[in-house]
Chains A and B, each alone.
Chain A
Amino acid sequence: MNSKQKISVQVTVSLAFAAFLAWAYFGFNTFTQTKVLIDKKDELFDTTYKVWEEQFVWGLDLSLLIAGLSLLVGGVLYFVFKNRNKA
């Protein structure tokens, strides 16, 4: 493995790791959401009701997509750098 191949592997693994780290940070949600439910207080009847608010929530689907893409690009680069070395 040459230095360029090493870098491509490191970048690939780091990106995939970061994607799963972001998933964990946002609370291990299965799907990415752009809206979340917030509880609001109804003072008149002393109850709560829910309101949709714009908020990005990172999901497992996004992590898998990023990890998959980085593996694909990293894999291609690995072989490209390998072949260039031979040439």
Chain B
Amino acid sequence: MNRFLIALFVLFTAISLSAQGFKVSAKGDQTFNFEDKGGRNQATFFSRTLLEDITGTSNNIKGKVLFSVDNIESTLTGKISITTESIKTGISLRDEHLQGEAWLDAKKFSEISFDIKKVNKIVKSEGNKLVLNVTGDFFLKGKTKSVTSDFTLIYLDASEKTKTRAEGDLLNVRGKFNIKLSDFGIESKVIGAKVADDIEIEVNIVGSNK
């Protein structure tokens, strides 16, 4: 009897895990494009030090995310990038310094990107919302480092409401992760005092499959 109950539990767990994915009308393979002409999509960075907190934003986001709605865990791929020169911090002189050779070197390295490599696990599944633990390659100033973090994905089937934003189904991707500037060869006397070595990056983007 006990064996039967254990087998039933294992079977139930396996079924519920395999059923994890978006519960939406859309089926099969989907490609979401994150190029947003309205400039609503955003990548933000935060540097926090005792002397000064700096927030920078970029609305010039490009990229695609591909997956099969029924099996997102093993099919998710894609790459999201921003143009280096699009980063704004609210002070134009600081922006100029940031684009300079000593910092991001925008002339030589025009893009900063995140390339999805692997979904480690589905952390949470709630209807059209999934929280995925993803590992990807973060590219900055000619160097690539592996980054792992949780990302929240919300899938909206096309409706009158979503049309106000874009045609087709919409996918919202949100996530936060941290990088170290020193890992990417960015070193300066002001790091630690006015600029943190540990930078938090936040992404909040919406893509459409049409």
Q: Chain A interface (Cβ within 8 Å of chain B)?
A: 30-37, 42, 44-45, 47, 49-50, 52
Contact A31 B57 (CB under 8 A): no
Whether B57 contacts A47 by the Cβ 8 Å rule is: no
| Pick from A44, A45, A50: contact of B55, CB under 8 Å | A50
Residues of chain A with a CB closer than 8 A to B156's CB = 44-45
B144 CB contacts on chain A under 8 angstroms: none
Q: Which residue of A lies closest to B194 (CB)?
A: A30
Task: List which B44-89 residues lie within 8 A (CB) of chain A.
Answer: 44, 51-52, 55, 57, 88
Neighbouring A residues of B164 by C-beta, 8 Å: 44
> In the bound complex, what is the Cα–Cα distance between A31 and B161 (angstroms)?
42
Name the residue on A nearest B164 (C-beta): A44
Partner pick for B57 among A32, A37, A44, CB 8 A cutoff: A37
* Cα separation A71 to B13 with both chains bound (whole Å): 75
B51's partner among A30, A45, A50 (CB-CB below 8 A) is: A30
- A30-B51, A44-B156, A45-B154 known; A52+B90 contact, CB < 8 A: yes
In the complex, the answer to whether A45 meets B206 with C-beta atoms within 8 Å is: yes
Shortest beta-carbon distance from A82 to chain B in Å: 39
A contact face: mostly helix, strand, loop, or mixed: strand
- For the complex, what is the distance from the CA of A47 to the CA of B176, rounded to whole Å? 14
Q: In terms of DSSP, what is the predominant structure of the interface of chain B?
A: strand
Q: How far is the CB of B136 from chain A (nearest CB, A)?
A: 21
Residue contact A50 to B52, C-beta cutoff 8 Å = no
Which residues of chain B are within 8 angstroms of A45 by Cβ–Cβ distance?
Answer: 154, 156, 172, 206
Q: Which residues of B contact A47 (CB under 8 A)?
A: 172, 174, 204
Given contact pairs A33-B91, A37-B90, A49 touches B52 in the complex (Cβ within 8 A): no
Q: Is the Cβ of A35 less than 8 Å from the Cβ of B52?
A: no
Question: With the chains together, A30 CA to B94 CA distance in Å?
Answer: 13
Q: Which 9 A-B residue pairings sit nearest by Cβ, starting from the closest?
A: A35-B90, A45-B172, A30-B52, A33-B90, A49-B42, A49-B204, A45-B154, A37-B55, A50-B57
A34 to B170, CA, bound (A): 35
Q: 11 A–B contact pairs at CB < 8 A? A: A30-B51, A31-B52, A31-B91, A35-B91, A42-B40, A44-B161, A44-B165, A44-B206, A47-B204, A50-B57, A52-B88
